[in-house]
Structure 1
Amino acid sequence: MIRSTCFPLRCVLFRFFRSFSREVRTDHVRECASKPDLTREASLYVHWPYCLRRCSYCNFNKYIPRENKDSIMTECLQRETETLLHLSQVSCITSVFFGGGSPSLADPSTIAAVLETVSKQASLSDQAEVTLEVNPTPAGRMKLEGFHLAGVNRFSVGVQSLQDEDLRSLGRDHNSQEALQTIEEARRLCPGRVSVDVMFGLPKQTAASWEDQLSKLFTVCDDHVSLYQLTLERGTQLFKQVQSGEVSMPAEEVTAEIYQHARETLHQHGFVQYEVSNFARNNSESDHNLSYWRGKQYIGVGPGAHGRFVPLGEGVVAREARTQTLEPDAWIREVQQMGHGTRRRILMSRLDLLEEVLVMGMRMAEGISHKHWDVFCPQMGLREVFSESMCVQELLQGGQLILDDRGLRCTWNGLALLDCFLPTLLAELQGQTL
């Protein structure tokens, strides 16, 4: 059992989309001729903002539609995709991910239209990974074949739990039987390319109930499993229920034990933990998510989507952090008027970029290689940044970190405690590069 007052997966859905200060940081990172693949390739994220209902724990950018806007959303997603691909001037899209919201509410023709737009603007090979998040309701399951015919070759099924009581408490609109049927159909269409998303740390969850759920999971899952710890977010129904005492959450020690047990059990079933929350066997890792963690460019399309890419032809050759307008109706108006709904553009400094490379790279079991770090920071190697720090030395000697000829990475135990010592690594990086 992990005994720690600092359990790392408290922010397992953590997105490192922080606010950058243009006034303070002016040492912008140039990404140009010497590393052409950095600016000529990108992954694409497409956000479908609508859901039929809001789950009790969710604070994502999603909306309950008052009317059917599929047609206008499709047109605007196509137009913004075209605009941002032109602006980025990427020649190759390496992967596409349709997320939300509930993108399985969209019509398969929407997915086909967006992919057609991508193919007209940039290269999208037949082998490129195209993923769609699926809400495992009967309506979602019935559309899977249509999505597959439209070009989707990987499904991410939001099972969350195989216990009906858990699903009701989370406000989900499916039951365990419907989830199992959806997984079965997804595996029929895309064998070896189905990810099952499961949450832990749920109200009233115990180590025994979690073990029972894992047993069920292994009888139906494909070759990829994502484990996400439930986190309490202000403003959600679940947060209010916990604050009022109506609902209780498992103790931190129980949650830690649940996570550790899952890691060990997945390993016994042939799954390799390649990232804090993700496990794969038979080489079924998510190419799209790996592109994030490895610091590659990505273009975000749709309400509230984030992006990181170099807009060429604007004078300064540097990566920008971009955020699209959150609210769908406002985003639609902006896309119709300007061709895109980019609400915020911030030129990233050298430190901004290196912080993201560090935070995202350390989430992977492989960590950050010297060669990879050198792509973004040729002036100062990993050893120069971290090896002289007493705090880092304590982590190395304590068995949480490894810094060797391969690069910097977490140990098996360290990966489970990443959030505890990540601030130490960031502070050392900031001290060395400011």
Structure 2
Amino acid sequence: MRLAATSVAVRKCLRVRYHGFSEVMCREISGLPGEDIQATSQPHCKEATLYVHWPYCLRRCSYCNFNKYISRSVNHVAMTTCLQRETETLLRLSQVSSITSVFLGGGTPSLAPPSTIAAVLETVAKHTGLRVDAEVTLEVNPTPVGMAKLADFLHAGVNRFSVGVQSLRDEDLKVLGRDHDSQHALRTVEEARRLCPGRVSVDVIFGRPGQSLDCWEAELEELLLVCDDHVSLYQLTLERGTHLFKQVQAGQLSLPCDDVMARMYESARRILGERGFLQYEVSNFARNGAVSSHNLAYWRTGEFLGVGPGAHGRFVPREKGGVFREARTQTLEPDVWMAEVKRWGHGTRRRVELSHVELLEEVLVMGLRLTEGISHQHWSRFSPGLDLQQVLGESAEVQELQARGLLILDHRGLRCSWEGLAVLDSLLPPLLLELQTCAHTQG
């Protein structure tokens, strides 16, 4: 799913726990591709969101370690057929009654034919139901080719665009390995806003090699002159195996120090607030109510289906009587994935049963990304017998975090303060430890 970029507030701990799906603590289930699972207790959810992964790109960005493949000859007919079939299979296994939102990520999904998007949406509507007001987001690479197809994607059923601007500095775009320039980005945002006013998000990266605080603030001010009602900010993180990682390790490039990174994040929060954007999540800001309902479902621990090579999912498979939520990962390589889908109806490579404690850990980690935090009512949906006060209220460390003004636990629930959200990565370990200790004590 497209949550891999992390901000200054959520670095190593969140990235490992979310994108690794707590793999170090979960055991894998054998028997794939069969669907036999043991039943335990988990509340039924008849609604879910859908993530569709398009794995192909024209080039690899220097910082990117997503599941993507460079191919000049994509079999679009086969990809479309397999995306439809896997969607149908997972809809049947999950037995959701309605898909509330769809996110098309990658890779570069704006390279896909609009007809592929339409086919997937038609499959959802035919086999389960796509809510009338469902948000359908497409990640767009702001190249001339991507911009030229926006209207066709709109006719195919897309109603929200997420434009990967990343930077308005051409020299930085070259360092990042992007295949667009600043003018391409500006024109794409303009066209997207014309087609979908109020439903265009822009992604921008800070903490780039050689970037200063003054340059970052000036660039953000420039971007806000043209952007729509949603902005996603991501701190540049070095991922092993990427070209950028090798360049920094070799001393060819250097990133700003942690203190400068933190100041960039804080200045961005201030500037966005002055322009009417409300921060609703660690990295996301919206005005005029233009929040991403799809991503909110992730952070509120909703069930979601992951379709396509390398996609991740979280849902309760009910066809065989299961009631225990699973973390699922689809086969990475597109050709192998297609072969598996043709044979089995899906390309699920791994299924991991989430224990009750592991599910609560995800509720905690994901919920604290939101400025609203975790309400008592929300927590009780997943833990009816053990409330937040029982889990965390008596902890000396938690009380210290409250005294320092970083964490709030009150009648509303649990949330970070404004200052605490900026250091969320340092708050999570003691909270998770308290949760595990409490669960162990309870037996």
Q: TM-score category by the smaller chain?
A: over 0.9
**Contact 2:9–2:282 (CA under 8 A) maintained in structure 1:** no
| Residue in structure 1 matching 2:262, options 256, 260, 270 | 256
Deviation at 1:31, TM superposition (A): 2.2
| Residue in structure 2 matching 1:327, options 330, 333, 353 | 333
Take 1:96 and 1:378, find their aligned partners in 2: how far apart are those partners? 30
User: 1:8-407 residue pairs with structure 2 within 5 A?
Assistant: 8-11=9-12, 14=15, 15-16=18-19, 17-19=21-23, 20-22=25-27, 30-32=41-43, 36=44, 38=45, 40-407=46-413
Point out the more displaced range, 241-250 or 309-318.
Answer: 309-318
**Contact 2:360–2:382 (CA under 8 A) maintained in structure 1:** yes
After superposition, the Cα gap between the structure-2 partners of 1:305 and 1:171, relative to the gap in structure 1 and judged at 3 Å, is same
TM-score norm. by structure 2 comes to 0.93
Deviation at 1:157, TM superposition (A): 0.4
> Helix, strand or coil: the match of 2:301?
coil
Q: Deviation per CA, 1:7-49, whole angstroms, max 9, x where unpaired? A: 634359833422143399x9985224xxx4x2x1100000000
> Helix, strand or coil: the match of 1:365?
coil
Q: Deviation per CA, 1:389-415, whole angstroms, max 9, x where unpaired? A: 000000001000000100000000000
Give the corresponding residue for 2:3: none
**Contact 2:316–2:322 (CA under 8 A) maintained in structure 1:** no
Q: Which sections of structure 2, spanning at least 5 residues, go unmatched?
A: 1-6, 30-36
Deviation at 1:243, TM superposition (A): 0.5
Instruction: Name the amino acid aligned to 1:240.
Output: K
Point out the more displaced range, 364-373 or 10-19.
Answer: 10-19
For the aligned residue pairs, the C-alpha RMSD in angstroms reads: 1.7
**Contact 2:58–2:72 (CA under 8 A) maintained in structure 1:** no
Instruction: Name the amino acid aligned to 1:31.
Output: Q
Give the corresponding residue for 2:33: none
Q: Deviation per CA, 1:97-135, whole angstroms, max 9, x where unpaired? A: 000000000010000000000000112122100000000
Give the corresponding residue for 1:3: none
Q: Kindly tell me the number of residue pairs found equivalent between the two proteins.
A: 423
Take 1:84 and 1:293, find their aligned partners in 2: how far apart are those partners? 21
> Helix, strand or coil: the match of 1:85?
helix
Give the corresponding residue for 2:416: 410
Instruction: Name the amino acid aligned to 2:11.
Output: R
Take 1:9 and 1:318, find their aligned partners in 2: how far apart are those partners? 28
TM-score norm. by structure 1 comes to 0.95
**Contact 2:28–2:353 (CA under 8 A) maintained in structure 1:** no
Instruction: Name the amino acid aligned to 1:221.
Output: C
Q: Which sections of structure 1, spanning at least 5 residues, go unmatched?
A: 1-5
**Contact 1:12–1:229 (CA under 8 A) maintained in structure 2:** no
**Contact 1:195–1:222 (CA under 8 A) maintained in structure 2:** yes
